Amino acid sequence: MNISVIGGGSWGTALTFILSKKNKINWWLRREKLATQIKNKKRNTKYLTNCTLNLKNIAITTNLETALNSCDLIIVAVPSSFIEETFNSFSNLLKNKTLLSAVKGVIPGKLITPQKYFLGLQSTINYGVISGPCHAEEIAHQMKSYLTISTIHNVTKTNISKVFQSPFINIKLSNDVVGAEYAAIIKNIYAIMVGICSGLGYGDNFIAVLITACTNEMKRLLYHLDPKERTVSQPAYLGDLLVTCYSLHSRNRMLGKTIGRGYSVENATAKMTMIAEGYSATASIYKIIKKLKILKEANIINSAYKILHQEKEAKKEIKKLSYLIP
C-alpha cells in the first residue's frame, strides 16, 4: 500500500515515524524550509525534535499534488483551520482513495466535522478516523501506545491494521466514525476546563468529579449528534479523554492551566507554541449544540464557551459549574 502523510506537526511526525518503520511513506510538508531541515538533520526541528526519522523510507515533498497522486492511503494530520486551504483544489486527486483523518477540530465557519467536509469534497473517499488514547510525544519514545481506527469499510480495517503493526502500538478497530470523530474534538474542550481548574488550585478530588461529569456529558452529546448506542468507557472515548485531561503533554490542558493561573485568554493562546484545537472547537461545538437546542445538557461546554469566548472570569465560572455537576 502506498501511503502519504499530510502534515508536519507533532501528529504528522509521529505517524510518519510509526509508519516508516516498515512502509515507504510520502510525507507532505507545507514549508520548504522545514522540509530541507528534516532532510539534513533526519528529524523534525520544530516538533518531536528528539525523534530520529528513517529517511530511507520517507520521501519528503512540499508538492501536495505529488503526495496525493502517488498513494492509496492518505493520512491527514493538518489542523482543522488549514483543511480547506490545503484540500479545496484537489478533490479529483481524492477519488476512490482511503483517507484517515487525525484532525481533532471542526472546520471553521462551516460547523462541520472533517468527515462531512471530505465526503462533501469527494464522495468516493473511503473515510476513517484515527484517535487515541495516544500522545505523539510517547510514540516518539516508542512507549506502549494505543490507536483506534474507526471506519465502516472492513477491507480498509484489515489493510490499515497491517500497515500500523508495531511492537509498541496496539490497534483497536471500530465502526463508530461519527462518534470517534466528535469525541476526539470534544475531549479537547474538557481538557482545557480541567487545566483551568488545575491552574485555579482545585485538587484531585474535584478534578476527578469534573472528568466524570465530562464523560457523562460526552455520552449525552454523542447520542444527540449521532443517535446510536455506544460504550463511552472504550479507549476512543474515555481513554482519550483521560489522557488529554491528565497528561503533561496535553496542549489543551496546558492552555487551560495558563488561563487558570490568571493569564487572559488572548495572552494564554499567544504563549502556546502549538495549536490547542480545543480553543476554536469550543466555539464550534457550542454553536452546533445550541442549534440542536441541547445547551442545557452541556453545562461544561457552556462554561468553557463563556470563559474562552465571552471573556467571563474563570474563577467565577468554575465556581458556578461546581454547583451544576454531581
* pLDDT in the model for residue 283: 95
pLDDT in tens, 183-218: 999 999 999 999 999 999 999 999 999 999 999 999
What superfamily does domain 3-175 belong to in CATH? Answer: NAD(P)-binding Rossmann-like Domain (3.40.50.720)
CB-hemisphere CA count at 13 Å for 71?
27
User: Counting beta carbons within 10 angstroms of the beta carbon of residue 123, is it exposed (0 to 12), middle (13 to 18) or buried (19 or more)?
Assistant: exposed
| pLDDT at 155 exceeding the cut of 80 | no
| pLDDT at 271 exceeding the cut of 90 | no
pLDDT in tens, 158-174: 788 888 888 899 999 99
Residue with cell 488549514: 82
CA angle (287, 293, 297) in 5-degree steps: 95
CA–CA separation, 5 vs 25, rounded Å? 7
The set of residues, in sequence order, having a beta carbon less than 8 Å from that of 314 and lying 6+ positions away, is: 196, 199, 200, 259, 260, 307
Name the region of 99 (left: φ>0; alpha: ψ -120 to 50; beta: rest).
beta
Is 178-322 in CATH node 3.30.360.10? no
pLDDT in tens, 130-145: 998 988 889 888 999 9
* pLDDT in the model for residue 84: 96
Q: Are 18 and 138 in contact (CB under 8 A)?
A: no
CA–CA separation, 2 vs 7, rounded Å? 17
Share of the chain above pLDDT 70, in %: 100
How much is the average pLDDT of 259-263?
96
The band of 182, judged by pLDDT with boundaries at 50, 70 and 90, is very high
Closest C-alpha to 150, from 184, 177, 111: 177
CB-hemisphere CA count at 13 Å for 204?
1
C-alpha cell at 225: 449528534
Give domain limits for the chain: 3-175, 178-322
Looking at this protein, which amino acid is placed at residue 182?
Y
* pLDDT in the model for residue 275: 78
3-state secondary structure the chain: CCEEEECCCHHHHHHHHHHCCCCCEEEECCCHHHHHHHHHHCCCCCCCCCCCCCHHHEEEECCHHHHHHCCCEEEECCCHHHHHHHHCCCHHHHCCCEEEECCCCCECCCCECHHHHHHHHCCCCEEEEEECCCCHHHHHCCCCEEEEEEECCHHHHHHHHHHHCECCEEEEEECCHHHHHHHHHHHHHHHHHHHHHHHHCCCHHHHHHHHHHHHHHHHHHHHHHCCCCCCCCCHHHHHHHHHHHHCCCCHHHHHHHHHHCCCCHHHHHHHCCCCCHHHHHHHHHHHHHHHCCCHHHCHHHHHHHHHHHCCCCHHHHHHHHHCCCC
